[in-house]
A and B are shown apart, each in its own frame.
Chain A
Amino acid sequence: MSVAVAVRTGAPTGRLRVTLANLGSAWRAYARDRASLAALSFLLLVAAAAVLAPHVAPYDPYEMVALRNALPGEEGLILGADGDGRDVLTRLIWGGRISLLIGIAPTLLAMIASLFVGIFAGYLGGWVDLVIMRFLDMFFAFPLVLVAIVVAGILEPGLLTIIVAIFIALLPYITRLVRTTALSVKAQPYIEAARAGGASPWAILWRYVLPNVVAPVIVYTTTLMGMMMVLGSGLSFLGLGVPPPVADWGTMVSEGRTVLKNAPHVTVFPGLLIVLVALAFGFIGDGLRDALDPRSRKR
């Protein structure tokens, strides 16, 4: 067979062109769902505010700037003041740093770790699978929240503790999904075809199993982010997370409950934000499901 080398010139060619086209079609598939688009915009706005907190927050988060429990609109504070007279809006902006980190970081880390563990268990099967999965099954005997509380309780309270606790609590859940997905991918004829083509076990794991497992796992992980933010807030509420006066949204809800009767806004605003952001993660997961489906890729 002769070798014909096709030379093409001009704008992006070959692999790069495909990658760019894929990003384009993935984005179009994502953006087709208005709710996902709105959720992403909302989340980007919240994240930007959190990152730029020192520049955008109107006051100091720890300073008393108004009368205690000032209602929204009073004394020039849009969202009012909390039980210590601190600006609620400012504390929400600063709290976003911690709350978003708690939602995203441990979940992402757990996803990466689970991909490795789950693919090994699912694809290799046999005793590897047996040992890994029975070990993780032990965690399933306890509710996720309880596992997180136990881990957080063992360590010193703090941001890192929450991240570690959620990471450990999530591992069994994501690993189980990865393993199940890897099992179904393993049974696909294209795996047998790849083996018949002489692909090594490593090549099959990296180029055949991983790419076909990763999409559903990313979708699941994204929806978990919102839930984990709520869980992290819960841990802070129990005093296992960031110590006061540092604000995260969970702590703010917790502090607000003492003045709930006279100043419900101190609890309601952080609570509402937690709900909205968690919801946004869910919608983003939906959008990613469409974006990551290879069938959405156009020519």
Chain B
Amino acid sequence: MTEALLTVENLKTYFHLRSGLLKAVDDVSFSLAPGRVLGIVGESGSGKSMTALSIIGLVDPPGRIEGGRIAYRGRNLLEMPERELEATIRGNRVGMIFQDPMTSLNPSFIIGEQIAEGLIAHKELGREAARANTVELLRLVGIPNAADRYYDYPHHFSGGMRQRVLIAAAIACEPDLLIADEPTTALDVTIQAQILKLLSDLRRRLGSAMILITHDLGVIAAMADDVIVMYAGRIVEYADVATLFRTPRHPYTVGLLNSIVRLEDSRDSALRSIPGAPPTPIDLPSGCSFRTRCPHAVERCAVEYPALRDAAPQHGVACHLVAPGEALNS
């Protein structure tokens, strides 16, 4: 493996709320090599979005990064001054794509200027060069009549088109790392496929690495090289995508994969789901956070949080029931 582009070590992002301490991201570590695609899966509140925001330093009070290290090309982003983050990381080396294209563009400005703004700020292009470059970007993300549509306002665009605009803005400075936080969740299914294809084509063309955050396992299967499964702020399992889908070890991952509806399912069969609901993040159960919903829970699970251990090389699982090298029978 080549040298890592991004290394996250023991990241802890906590929220000090009136009602208690919310560990949104708790002791998360992973590393990402240049050009690889890392999928982060988990349900709402599992800490996947907060992990992304922590990387670009956009955790707002009452949230705070309490510990850990986020190294981008060896530099710790947590110690980087705000101004340098603005100038060199956000929108420059790291491009971010958000979930809701309908509200992620400034309604008062033409879309072209919103993209050109980044080019002017980060690449020190002149106004005219930035405009020409932006038109080229719009063409690249598949917007017809790009030169004219540069002057349109966000409300002239459909959801899918707006997501294309946001992708253009994110890749404008040819970032090393793209972070896509549920990039297709707010879109129609047909549009989702187009946007995913666009995203993966552009990423390959730029050679960027990508962190793809989603709750859609189908998207992960289609796009990711490696996968992290998060539950209640922690990583419960990580592996390369083939291993994870073929031999999932953590009961939560198994449950997630089991809940996928298959074509061969009969019409009358009930939808499979994981019983119960995710725990309130402020009031987590003792020991393993998943034990209250886990079909295999034993006494030890309530006492001690299972450490993330290698069940096989490059395959980590945080479960007491999975001994190194041993598969969980489910």
- A residues sitting closer than 8 Å to B (CB atoms) are 1-6, 8, 14-15, 17-18, 188-190, 192-200, 203, 207-208, 211-212, 294-295, 297, 299
Q: Is the CB–CB distance between A199 and B121 below 8 Å? A: yes
Interface size of B by CB at 8 A reads 45
Q: Is the CB–CB distance between B100 and A189 below 8 Å? A: yes
Q: How far is the CB of A82 from the nearest CB of chain B, in Å?
A: 50
Since A1-B137, A194-B106 are in contact, a sample of 19 more A-B pairs with Cβ atoms closer than 8 Å, ordered by chain A residue number, is A2-B136, A4-B132, A5-B128, A6-B135, A6-B147, A14-B151, A189-B104, A196-B56, A196-B98, A197-B91, A197-B117, A198-B85, A203-B117, A203-B121, A208-B106, A211-B109, A294-B107, A295-B155, A297-B155
| CB within 8 Å for A192 and B121 given contacts A3-B136, A294-B153 | no
Q: Is the CB–CB distance between A198 and B153 below 8 Å? A: no
| CB within 8 Å for A188 and B103 given contacts A196-B90, A207-B109, A294-B153 | yes
Please name all residues of chain B whose beta carbon is closer than 8 Å to the beta carbon of A6 when the two chains form the complex: 132, 135, 147
Task: Give the distance in Å from the alpha carbon of A6 to the alpha carbon of B134 in the complex.
Answer: 11
Task: Give the distance in Å from the alpha carbon of A182 to the alpha carbon of B131 in the complex.
Answer: 29
Q: Is the CB–CB distance between B133 and A1 below 8 Å? A: yes
| CB within 8 Å for A195 and B136 given contacts A14-B151, A212-B108 | no
Task: Give the distance in Å from the alpha carbon of A256 to the alpha carbon of B87 in the complex.
Answer: 67
Interface membership of B129, Cβ < 8 A: yes
Q: How far is the CB of A23 from the nearest CB of chain B, in Å?
A: 14
Interface membership of B71, Cβ < 8 A: no
Q: Which 5 pairs across A and B sit closest by C-beta, in order of nearness?
A: A198-B91, A197-B91, A198-B90, A211-B108, A196-B96
Closest residue on chain B to residue A15 by CB atoms: B151
Q: Is the CB–CB distance between B107 and A3 below 8 Å? A: no
Task: Give the distance in Å from the alpha carbon of A17 to the alpha carbon of B131 in the complex.
Answer: 15
Main secondary structure of the interface of A (DSSP, over half): helix
Please name all residues of chain B whose beta carbon is closer than 8 Å to the beta carbon of A192 when the two chains form the complex: 58, 98, 104
- B residues sitting closer than 8 Å to A (CB atoms) are 56, 58, 83, 85-87, 89-92, 96, 98-100, 103-110, 117-118, 121-122, 128-129, 131-133, 135-137, 140, 147, 151-153, 155-156, 166, 169-170, 174
Number of A-B contacts (CB under 8 A): 99
Please name all residues of chain B whose beta carbon is closer than 8 Å to the beta carbon of A207 when the two chains form the complex: 106, 109, 117
Please name all residues of chain A whose beta carbon is closer than 8 Å to the beta carbon of B152 when the two chains form the complex: 299
Please name all residues of chain B whose beta carbon is closer than 8 Å to the beta carbon of A17 when the two chains form the complex: 151
Q: How far is the CB of A24 from the nearest CB of chain B, in Å?
A: 14
Please name all residues of chain B whose beta carbon is closer than 8 Å to the beta carbon of A208 when the two chains form the complex: 106
Closest residue on chain B to residue A17 by CB atoms: B151
Please name all residues of chain B whose beta carbon is closer than 8 Å to the beta carbon of A294 when the two chains form the complex: 107-108, 153, 155
Q: Is the CB–CB distance between B107 and A195 below 8 Å? A: no
Please name all residues of chain A whose beta carbon is closer than 8 Å to the beta carbon of B118 when the two chains form the complex: 197-198
Q: Is the CB–CB distance between B91 and A196 below 8 Å? A: yes
Task: Give the distance in Å from the alpha carbon of A211 to the alpha carbon of B114 in the complex.
Answer: 14
Task: Give the distance in Å from the alpha carbon of A17 to the alpha carbon of B110 in the complex.
Answer: 12
Please name all residues of chain B whose beta carbon is closer than 8 Å to the beta carbon of A190 when the two chains form the complex: 103-107
Task: Give the distance in Å from the alpha carbon of A297 to the alpha carbon of B109 in the complex.
Answer: 11
Q: Which of B92, B99, B105 has the most CB of A within 10 A?
A: B105
Closest residue on chain B to residue A195 by CB atoms: B58
Closest residue on chain A to residue B173 by CB atoms: A198
Q: Which of B89, B107, B122, B153 has the most CB of A within 10 A?
A: B107
